[in-house]
Chains A and B, each alone.
Chain A
Amino acid sequence: MSVPRMTCRELVEVVTDYLEGALDPDEAARLERHLDNCLGCRNYLDQLARLRELVGTLTEDDVDPEAAAALASAFAAWREGRSM
Chain B
Amino acid sequence: MILGQADADLLERIRTGDERAFEEAVRAYGPGLMRVARFYAGEGAADEVVQETWVTFLKTLDRFEGRSSLRTWLYGIATNIARRRRSSDARMVVKDDPAVDPDRFWDETGPQPGHWKRFPPAWNEIPDERLLGDEIRRVVEQAISTLPERQRAVIVLRDVEGLASDEVRDVLDLSEGNERVLLHRARSKVRRAVEIYLEGEDVGA
A8–B116 touching, CB < 8 Å: yes
Chain A, range 22-43, C-beta contacts under 8 Å to B: 22, 38-41, 43
Whether B123 pairs with A10 at a CB distance below 8 angstroms is no
**Bound complex: CA A48 to CA B119 (Å):** 14
Q: Which residue in chain B gives the minimum CB-CB distance to A82?
A: B17
Which residues of chain A come closer than 8 Å to B115, judged between CB atoms? Answer: 7-9, 38, 40
The answer, among B30, B105, B123, B159, for a CB contact under 8 Å with A50, is B123
Tell me, in angstroms, the Cα distance from A20 to B154 when the chains sit together.
13
Interface of B is mostly: helix
Chain A residues within 8 Å of B113, by CB: 7
- The reply to whether the CB of B59 lies closer than 8 angstroms to some CB of chain A is yes
**Cβ of A55 and Cβ of B160 under 8 Å apart?**
yes
What is the number of contacts between chain A and chain B, taking CB atoms within 8 Å? Answer: 137
- Decide yes or no: A72 and B47 within 8 Å by CB, A54-B136, A57-B132 being known contacts: no
Number of B residues with CB within 8 Å of any CB on chain A: 57
With a CB–CB cut-off of 8 A, which chain B residues contact A56? 159-160, 162
Q: Mark B166-186, 1 if CB is under 8 A from A, else 0.
A: 000000000010001001100
Chain A interface category by residue count: 35 or more
Q: Which residues of B contact A50 (CB under 8 A)?
A: 123-124, 131
| Whole-angstrom distance between the Cβ of B192 and the nearest chain A Cβ | 10
Give me the 3 closest cross-chain CB pairs, A-B, nearest first: A7-B114, A40-B119, A16-B184
A residues bordering B, Cβ < 8 Å? 7-10, 12-13, 15-17, 20, 22, 38-41, 43-44, 46-48, 50-59, 61-64, 67-68, 70-72, 74-76, 78-79, 82-83
Task: Give me 28 A-to-B residue pairs in the complex whose CB atoms sit less than 8 angstroms apart, sorted by A's number.
Answer: A7-B115, A8-B115, A8-B116, A9-B105, A16-B184, A16-B187, A22-B176, A40-B115, A40-B116, A43-B122, A44-B120, A47-B123, A48-B191, A50-B124, A50-B131, A51-B191, A54-B136, A55-B155, A56-B159, A58-B35, A58-B137, A62-B31, A67-B50, A71-B51, A74-B54, A75-B22, A78-B55, A79-B17
Interface residues of B (CB under 8 A from A): 17, 19, 22-23, 26-27, 30-32, 34-35, 47, 50-51, 54-55, 58-59, 98-100, 102, 105, 113-116, 118-124, 131-132, 136-137, 140-141, 144, 155, 159-162, 165, 176, 180, 183-184, 187-188, 190-191, 194-195
